[in-house]
Amino acid sequence: MKVLLINGSPNSKGCTYTALEEAAKVINSEGIETEIIHVGHKDIRGCIACRQCKKNGKCVFDDIVNEVASKLEKSDGLIIGSPVYYASANGTLVSFLDRLFYSTQWDKSMKVGAAVVSARRGGASATFDQLNKYFTISGMPVVSSQYWNSVHGNTPEEVKKDLEGLQVMRTLGRNMSFLIKSIALGKEKYGMPEKEQGIYTNFIR
């Protein structure tokens, strides 16, 4: 079992990383492998709607998006971490996620997802909502904690003083581990939920 953690901050060991690391330590203690991947400092362009991924099975821009896609396919869980910019996620991370989720053709159902946000002060809830939409459109169960998954502080040292925020991260790690293990047992005993043929309605009359 494995969980990927995406660091969407430009800073490799900043506030977002501090939150992700707290969750990862607990997940590791539950016997699940973790890997933190830093993408926030990369030069990642947005999706251009060329639809070549539908033909090739991967994004036409062969960068870290395709690298992470192959890892995500083999993983059981995904945690997306972002700093808060203008009450929203880092633009580089959004470009990464748009292309990652759109270009991957394989079924993401029952892969467990969670969003983690780091804010100096405001905008955490709006960013949290923004990131969760990637999971809910993909059939991925969303993991909750004891509070919204956020930490506060302007430096890693300040985040480490946010004792409630760190506890939220640890609870998230435990809940994610439990859900991943429970889904694995459910698949073994009951199989995956039945899927209907997709219906697409554009609301044009």
- Tens of pLDDT, residues 59-91: 999 999 999 999 999 999 999 999 999 999 999
**Given pLDDT bands bounded at 50, 70 and 90, which one contains residue 205?**
low
Q: What is the dihedral of CA 20, 23, 25, 29, to 10 degrees?
A: -150
Tokens of 204: 């044009």
Q: Where are the domains of the chain?
A: 2-190
Q: What is the rounded distance in angstroms from the CA atom of residue 158 to the CA atom of residue 164?
A: 12
pTM (predicted TM-score): 0.95
pLDDT digits (tens, 9 = 90+) for 149-201: 999 999 999 999 999 999 999 999 999 999 999 999 999 999 999 999 989 88
Stretch 113-122: mean pLDDT, rounded? 97
Q: What is the pLDDT of residue 203?
A: 78
Q: Is the pLDDT of residue 123 over 90?
A: yes
What would be the CATH architecture of the domain defined by 2-190? Answer: 3-Layer(aba) Sandwich (3.40)
The per-residue pLDDT for range 17-38, each reduced to its tens digit, is: 999 999 999 999 999 999 999 9
How many angstroms from the chain centroid is the CA of residue 10?
16
Q: What's the confidence (pLDDT) of residue 40?
A: 97
